[in-house]
Amino acid sequence: MNLTDLSASLRDCERCRLSSGRTQVVFGIGNPQASIMFVGEAPGFYEDRQGEPFVGAAGKLLTELLQSIGLTRSDIYIANVIKCRPPNNRDPLPDEIETCKPFLLQQIEFIRPKLVCTLGNFATQTLLEKKVGITKVRGQVIRMPQFLVFPLLHPAAALHQGNLRGPLLEDFKKLKLVLDGMDKESQKSPTQKSQAIPQPLAESKKDTPAETPVQMDLF
Ligand code: SF4
């Protein structure tokens, strides 16, 4: 199986109740060989209609933020934790997350990005497997067993709360430093390579269990 097969296999997915209200499954889009992947929450109204993640106002802001660090959407891959739009854009429920999350993990496995940028609390908590606040962990590289996570504020949060735009811009500047550091590291010979991960780094405390699943907020 590859990414295309996985996408095709989900086209008629009815594994959870969200299948009943969607227009289409929003699998993900972008460069399947991307070294950086962005993960959001779930499709909204426009995403559900167009079949692509991040096509509304938050998507426009994400595109601008990428451009601010010299990236375009064709450099990255974007997906959501949940592939079908929840009714009235409500938060996905814990059982819906559990059902759909394996497909996100498979996407990550096929794309093999160097860094997975989680947008907002929801994606961050899902991939870190614990209930952490985005404001506590944003702008740090967090090592998970299979990949590195870089949590960012959700662009929709910055649209709703103008005072978050500055912090979001700061996070993208940090992301640029992290990516530059990774590029330099990858250019070194194997003997020059250290085990160091570009700063800022935070180790994921795997011994801190996730709390009982609860509905998670975007902000
Ligand atoms: S949200 Fe995920 S698990 Fe639920 S129907 Fe859509 S693709 Fe299937």
Token pair for 3: 């990414």
Q: What pLDDT, in 10s, does the model give residues 137-171?
A: 999 999 998 899 999 999 999 999 989 999 999 99
Question: What pLDDT score was predicted for residue 204?
Answer: 46
pLDDT value of residue 146: 86
| Residue from 14, 83, 107 whose mutation best tests the ligand 1 pocket (most atoms within 8 A of CB) | 83
The DSSP 8-state label assigned to residue 2 in this structure reads -
The alpha carbon of 112 and the centre of ligand 1 are apart by a number of angstroms equal to 22
CA of 18 to the centre of ligand 1 (A): 6
Q: Please list every protein residue whose CB sits less than 6 Å from any atom of ligand 1.
A: 10, 13-16, 18-19, 25, 82-84, 96, 99-100
Residue 201: pLDDT over 80:
no
d(C-alpha 33, C-alpha 36), whole Å: 9
For ligand 1, atom 3: residue with the closest CA: 100
CB of 21 closer than 8 Å to CB of 87: yes
Which pLDDT tens digit goes with each residue over 29-76?
A: 999 999 999 999 999 999 999 999 999 899 999 999 999 999 999 999
Residue 193 banded pLDDT, cuts 50, 70, 90: low
Structural domains of the chain, ranges and CATH numbers in brackets: 3-188+196-201 (3.40.470.10)
Atom of ligand 1 nearest to the CA of 92: 1
pLDDT band at 183 (very low <50, low <70, confident <90, very high): confident
Q: Over the stretch 3-35, which tens digit does the pLDDT of each residue have? A: 999 999 999 999 999 999 999 999 999 999 999
Classify each residue of 25-47 as buried b or exposed e, where b means 16 or more C-beta atoms within 10 Å of its C-beta.
bbbbbbbeebbbbbbbbbbbebb
When pLDDT is cut at 50, 70 and 90, the band that residue 212 belongs to is very low
- Say what the pTM is: 0.87
* Choice from 22, 84, 95 to test ligand 1 binding pocket (greatest atom count within 8 A of CB): 84
- Write the DSSP symbol of residue 198: P
For CA atoms 162, 35, 201, 41, the dihedral sign is positive
**218 pLDDT exceeds 80?**
no
| Arithmetic mean of pLDDT, 82-97 | 95
Ligand 1 atom showing the smallest separation from residue 16 Cα? 4
**Ligand 1 atom nearest residue 10's Cα:** 7
Mean pLDDT for the chain?
A: 88
pLDDT recorded at residue 49: 96
Q: Which atom of ligand 1 is nearest to the CA of 19?
A: 5
The DSSP annotation for 90-119 comes to PPPPHHHHHHHHHHHHHHHHHH--SEEEEE
